[in-house]
Homo-oligomer: A and B are copies of this chain.
Amino acid sequence: MKHDFYSNKNILITGGLGFLGSNLAIRLVELGASVTLYDGLIDDLGANYFNTDPIKDRVEVVTANVGDRSVMDGHVPHKDIIFNIGMHSCHLDSMKDPVFDIETNIVPQINFLESLRSQNPRARVVYVGTRAQYGRVENPPITETTPLNPMDIYSVSKQAVEWYHMLYSKICGLRPTSLRLGNTYGPRHQMRHAKYGVQNYLMRLALDNQQIEIFGDGNQKRELIFVDDVIECLLLLGETDQCVDQVYAIGTEKSVAFVELVKEIIKACGSGSYTHVPWPEDRKIIEVGDVVTDYAKLTAHTGWIPSTRLSEGLRITAEYYREHKTHYW
């Protein structure tokens, strides 16, 4: 069976109650893995106990800061694979309060890596980075060798933490992989605010029949990856030996203009409208422009290709939030 690899494996997921963490956990439990969800329950982030409702009696949940070694050291041993997803992700906030970003991202992550070094130094770790490590790209498409040009403090922290993971391979034999993930949408994202994952928040507006504001002409291209495709990718990365010490870019078959995405969301929801407004200054300075990615390396090493069309993914997503909206906003 596909992903048989995960049967009876011991898995730790940081950010386990969040968007990616919970979707991944649901798949892993289906595959027969023994899963520990570790989550810092940080304000404004995506932790939501309802996310794990389908598996709530079949996973261990630990709520503590990822960098709290008094807790983490007890959960790291004997884990076969660790998916390190839990970081504080807000581009805009990080520019307002850089110290907070460093304290909630870099410092806990280095302590987490020290926990691995101490308790499970050769652990297989899949780190979820961000496409924003590339920032605005001069020569698309993006590949793994595209120059790094992070345009906000958070994206610098993500790049630094990616490098730290890679260096622990030399420090203690850690076996890391990094996935530089772009805009992902689907069930189980936080829907309380638009500070990150705006592609998801827009669906809330549409479902509530609100007007969506598009900054500028909305012609900037985006790649929207359905969460199930990302989970499939994470599973492949975790089980493929060739991915150790490697970094991967990920994308979609084709990019979509932001304004077209908004139209698709409105269509999937059957409600909502949109209007164009000028770019707010704070958004403009961190806007990365068009996003087009060549993920040939990822396909070559794992066989991964995106399999969910945007209209289909949005339909599934709209259905989920329509049914469960009381748990999300």
A2: CB under 8 A from chain B?
A: no
Which 7 A-B residue pairings sit nearest by Cβ, starting from the closest? A160-B160, A156-B163, A170-B285, A102-B110, A98-B110, A156-B160, A99-B110
Interface class of chain A by DSSP: helix
CB distance from A143 to the nearest CB of B (A): 12
Residue-wise interface mask of A (78-112) relative to B, using a CB-CB cutoff of 8 A (1 in contact, 0 not):
00000000000000000100110011001100110
Residue-wise interface mask of A (127-154) relative to B, using a CB-CB cutoff of 8 A (1 in contact, 0 not):
0000000000000000001011011110
Copies in the complex: 2
A157: CB under 8 A from chain B?
A: yes
Q: Is the CB of A167 within 8 A of B156?
A: yes
A113: CB under 8 A from chain B?
A: yes
CB distance from A63 to the nearest CB of B (A): 23
Q: What CA separation (Å) do A151 and B152 show in the bound complex?
A: 23
CB distance from A125 to the nearest CB of B (A): 15
Q: Is the CB of A164 within 8 A of B114?
A: no
Contact check: which of B148, B171, B286 meets A148 at CB < 8 Å? Answer: B148
**A67 to B, closest residue via Cβ:** B99
Q: Is the CB of A102 within 8 A of B107?
A: yes
Q: Is the CB of A171 within 8 A of B102?
A: no
**A97 to B, closest residue via Cβ:** B114
In the bound complex, residues from chain B placing their C-beta under 8 Å from that of A170 are 95, 151, 285-286
Q: What CA separation (Å) do A157 and B110 show in the bound complex?
A: 12
Tally chain A residues at the interface, Cβ within 8 Å: 29
Q: What CA separation (Å) do A103 and B148 show in the bound complex?
A: 24
Q: What CA separation (Å) do A147 and B107 show in the bound complex?
A: 25
In the bound complex, residues from chain B placing their C-beta under 8 Å from that of A111 are 99
Q: Is the CB of A106 within 8 A of B102?
A: yes
Known contacts A153-B167, A156-B160, A163-B156: A107-B110 contact under CB 8 Å: no
In the bound complex, residues from chain B placing their C-beta under 8 Å from that of A145 are 147
CB distance from A165 to the nearest CB of B (A): 11
Contact check: which of B103, B113, B147 meets A98 at CB < 8 Å? Answer: B113
18 contacts between A and B (CB under 8 A): A95-B167, A95-B171, A98-B110, A98-B114, A98-B164, A98-B171, A99-B111, A99-B114, A103-B107, A106-B160, A107-B107, A147-B147, A151-B167, A152-B167, A153-B164, A156-B163, A156-B164, A170-B285
Other contacts beyond A98-B110, A99-B114, A159-B160: 7, CB < 8 A: A95-B167, A95-B170, A99-B111, A148-B148, A151-B167, A153-B167, A156-B164
CB distance from A264 to the nearest CB of B (A): 32
In the bound complex, residues from chain B placing their C-beta under 8 Å from that of A102 are 106-107, 110
**A163 to B, closest residue via Cβ:** B156
Q: What CA separation (Å) do A150 and B166 show in the bound complex?
A: 10
Interface residues of A in 159-180 (CB under 8 A from B): 159-160, 163-164, 167, 170-171
CB distance from A57 to the nearest CB of B (A): 37
In the bound complex, residues from chain B placing their C-beta under 8 Å from that of A171 are 95, 98
In the bound complex, residues from chain B placing their C-beta under 8 Å from that of A150 are 163
**A150 to B, closest residue via Cβ:** B163
